[in-house]
Amino acid sequence: MKKSFNIHHLIRPNVARLQPYSSARDEFKDVDQEMVFLDANENPFDNGVNRYPDPQQRILKSVLATQKNVQTEQILLGNGSDEVLDLLFRAFCEPNVANVLTLPPTYGMYKVLAGINAVTNREVLLTKDFELDVSEILKQQDEHSKLLFICSPNNPTGTIFNKEAVSELLEKFKGIVVIDEAYIDFSEIESWITRLSEYPNLVVTQTLSKAYGMAGIRLGICYASAEIISVLNKIKPPYNVNELTQQRALERLHNILDIKSEIEVLLKEKRKLENALADVTFIENIYASEANFILVKVDNAAKRYEQLILQGIVTRNRSNQPLCENTLRFTVGTPKENNKLITTLKSLQ
Ligand SMILES: *Cc1c(COP(=O)(O)O)cnc(C)c1O
């Protein structure tokens, strides 16, 4: 449980003062009665998408709130989690003043977003076994440190972090701790969403892009205190989640059993891949993965990457990331795709 935390010290002054844009759909939302809508300059002829979408995505949020056991006021939806992460920068990080802490090797967008927003990115490497270096992270924070990004399960390593270490950071980091759970649905570990009431500085991001199989519709989800969500709501573009996305997401969320069975297949395929990779002579290490990908250390990543391309298989060479020299990342594909990867790897000279 975190005691002293005052979000008002963290918000950018211009955001705190901001009067948000009020859209037509914000100003009138009592939809119980049949109304004639002549307020938003839309084309009135119905084609399914001629009206602006609900800027607060209330139906979608209510389904998510039930499934995740949170209040709808604790949810913000974005055009992918990348938009959600960008909103966090824009709400809390004063350009050329603030800094954020990121923990490489990790997801590359945090650094890019820091660059776009003119915010210093303080990097604290993970330890050699891909754990959090808690004391070094805390040593690097100062009064301008606004966000700390913890990706768990982590991309590209696939590993998860020690729970006590994460708790300690939530207790001792003075800014907002963002836990990126893009891969949580592949893991046995409990989501940090369940701890939101204990940590007022906690933000959890999830996405429909990975386990939910909807990368194409762009839907990212942010769970946090109602206070943090209201700040993000102030600055988000009014119609940031389009109507088609809201509809497709709802359909998918109503078929949660389909998603669960796809995850089962992918996890089984991952175990199959891991077993097979152990027999490939040039693979030196297979990192324990809690996600839908496997990071492996090979003899020569550039060479193996090219050889796989020539056989029609695209993987990710992660060698430019610290602690990831000569590593390749394999996403778990369909059973057929995985078999092709295995056969090809075993045939390479
Ligand atoms: C893929 C991924 C995301 C997803 O981003 P979207 O914009 O929601 O598609 C977020 N974080 C990490 C760590 C990822 O690997």
- Model confidence over 10-23: pLDDT tens digits? 999 999 999 888 88
Place of tokens 């909807």: 214
- Tell how far the Cα of 210 is from the centroid of ligand 1, in angstroms: 8
Which pLDDT value is given to residue 25? Answer: 79
Say how far apart CA 273 and CA 289 lie, in whole Å.
11
Distance of CA 288 to the CA centre of its chain: 20
Q: Whose CA is nearest to atom 3 of ligand 1?
A: 182
Say how far apart CA 276 and CA 342 lie, in whole Å.
7
pLDDT in tens, 211-264: 999 999 999 999 999 999 999 999 999 999 999 999 999 999 999 999 999 999
Whether residues 207 and 316 share a domain: the answer is: no
- Tell how far the Cα of 153 is from the centroid of ligand 1, in angstroms: 11
Whether residues 102 and 221 share a domain: the answer is: yes
What is the best residue among 79, 107, 187, 221 to mutate for testing ligand 1's pocket, by most ligand atoms within 8 Å of CB?
107
Please tell me what DSSP assigns to residue 148. Answer: E
Per-residue pLDDT for 165 more than 80?
yes
- The answer as to whether 24 is a domain residue is yes
Which pLDDT value is given to residue 2? Answer: 81
Helix (H, G, I), strand (E, B) or coil at 219: coil
Residue whose C-alpha is closest to residue 225's, from 204, 207, 239, 241: 204
- Tell how far the Cα of 164 is from the centroid of ligand 1, in angstroms: 24
Kindly write down the DSSP assignment for every residue of 256-304, as one continuous string: HHHHHHHHHHHHHHHHHHHHHHTT-TTEEEE---SSSEEEEEES-HHHH
- The answer as to whether 87 is a domain residue is yes
In short, whether 185's Cβ falls inside 6 Å of ligand 1 is no
Per-residue pLDDT for 31 more than 70?
no
Q: In the chain, how many domains are there?
A: 2
- The answer as to whether 30 is a domain residue is yes
Q: Whose CA is nearest to atom 10 of ligand 1?
A: 182
What is the best residue among 77, 82, 219, 241 to mutate for testing ligand 1's pocket, by most ligand atoms within 8 Å of CB?
82
CA dihedral 277, 280, 281, 284 (to 10 degrees): -20
Quote the domain boundaries for residue 265: 257-347
- Tell how far the Cα of 262 is from the centroid of ligand 1, in angstroms: 19
Mean pLDDT for the stretch of residues 321-330: 98
pLDDT in tens, 34-74: 889 999 999 999 999 999 999 999 999 999 999 999 999 99
Whether residues 58 and 204 share a domain: the answer is: yes
Whether residues 235 and 278 share a domain: the answer is: no
Please tell me what DSSP assigns to residue 220. Answer: E
In short, whether 102's Cβ falls inside 6 Å of ligand 1 is no
In short, whether 86's Cβ falls inside 6 Å of ligand 1 is no
Whether residues 215 and 148 share a domain: the answer is: yes
Which pLDDT value is given to residue 39? Answer: 92
Residue whose C-alpha is closest to residue 87's, from 97, 76, 95: 76
What is the best residue among 83, 184, 210, 222 to mutate for testing ligand 1's pocket, by most ligand atoms within 8 Å of CB?
210
Whether residues 137 and 237 share a domain: the answer is: yes
CATH code for the domain of 328: 3.90.1150.10
- Tell how far the Cα of 152 is from the centroid of ligand 1, in angstroms: 11
What average pLDDT does the structure give for the chain?
Answer: 96
For residue 207, report the phi and psi dihedrals to the nearest 5 degrees.
-155, 155
Whether residues 174 and 301 share a domain: the answer is: no
Which pLDDT value is given to residue 27? Answer: 79
Say how far apart CA 196 and CA 185 lie, in whole Å.
18
Length of the chain: 349
Kindly write down the DSSP assignment for every residue of 159-207, as one continuous string: ----HHHHHHHHHH-SSEEEEE-TTGGGSSSPPGGGGTTT-TTEEEEEE
- The answer as to whether 312 is a domain residue is yes
In short, whether 54's Cβ falls inside 6 Å of ligand 1 is no
Provide the 10 A C-beta neighbour count for residue 251.
10
In short, whether 78's Cβ falls inside 6 Å of ligand 1 is no
Which of 205, 239, 254 lies at the terminal end of a domain, its last residue? 254
Mean pLDDT for the stretch of residues 118-147: 98
Whether residues 249 and 269 share a domain: the answer is: no
- The answer as to whether 2 is a domain residue is no
- Tell how far the Cα of 207 is from the centroid of ligand 1, in angstroms: 7
In short, whether 182's Cβ falls inside 6 Å of ligand 1 is yes
Which pLDDT value is given to residue 188? Answer: 93
User: Of the given ranges (26-35, 97-106, 293-302), which has the lowest mean pLDDT?
Assistant: 26-35
Which of 223, 254, 285 lies at the terminal end of a domain, its last residue? 254
Amino acid residing at 102: T
Say how far apart CA 287 and CA 243 lie, in whole Å.
40
- The answer as to whether 1 is a domain residue is no
CATH code for the domain of 65: 3.40.640.10
What is the best residue among 106, 207, 212 to mutate for testing ligand 1's pocket, by most ligand atoms within 8 Å of CB?
207
Whether residues 160 and 294 share a domain: the answer is: no
Whether residues 227 and 270 share a domain: the answer is: no
In short, whether 147's Cβ falls inside 6 Å of ligand 1 is no
Distance of CA 120 to the CA centre of its chain: 21
Whether residues 302 and 290 share a domain: the answer is: yes
Provide the 10 A C-beta neighbour count for residue 52.
18
> Residue 53 to residues 48, 72, 187: CA-CA distances in angstroms?
11, 18, 33
Whether residues 115 and 168 share a domain: the answer is: yes
Which of 254, 282, 302 lies at the terminal end of a domain, its last residue? 254
Which pLDDT value is given to residue 72? Answer: 98
- The answer as to whether 282 is a domain residue is yes
Please tell me what DSSP assigns to residue 349. Answer: -
